[in-house]
Structure 1
Amino acid sequence: MKKLFISITAIGVVFFVLSLFSPWVTERFASAKALRAFKGQWKNTADGCGFACKDCGFVTSQKAAFGRKVEIEFACGLLPADDPKYHRRKELFVSFLGTVH
């Protein structure tokens, strides 16, 4: 019984450490997940937000505990001009499970 407890504890520690560093959440994976989730939020909105502007989309990402922070740039509504002053930025978190928050 004691060996079983030690084995389960060891597996739990390994899973925790792997999840903490989450090497499978690469920049490419995280940016794709973040962009897809953002597009999904605005899917059924006629004049919503999107990436159809100059230099919009994925900006940067940074490793974080249990995932990766991703910064995106987008524009909303009808723009008088495609000028960066009308663009917005948002930071999203892609977890080690692949969920976007």
Structure 2
Amino acid sequence: MTRFLAALIAGSAVLTLSACASPHAPTLAERAAALPDNGAVSDGDTFTCRRIQITGTRRFERICTLDSEWAEQAGRTNEAVEAIGAADRSQVRPDVFPGMYP
């Protein structure tokens, strides 16, 4: 019985160590982290990677896109902010609704 337990423990130790020592294929996150933060693509345009926080979480996501697309997104954001600033600021809910009070 003790021989069996000793063999079982030795076998599990060998399996555990072999699992730790075996090389693994890099995950998508590991491959993305190895990419540079900026550079050029084949057609001459440049790209930039940014860490963007996911809304409602503490997690960040690395987003890589062309610089022209970053500029386009910034332009759309500025247009939206200006539209909100120029919006009508009259009362949304007036104190007295017509027809409700005598």
TM-score, L = length of structure 2: 0.31
Higher helix share: 2
Higher strand share: 1
Higher relative contact order, structure no. (Cα contacts within 8 Å, ≥ 6 residues apart): 1
Flag the structure with larger Rg.
2
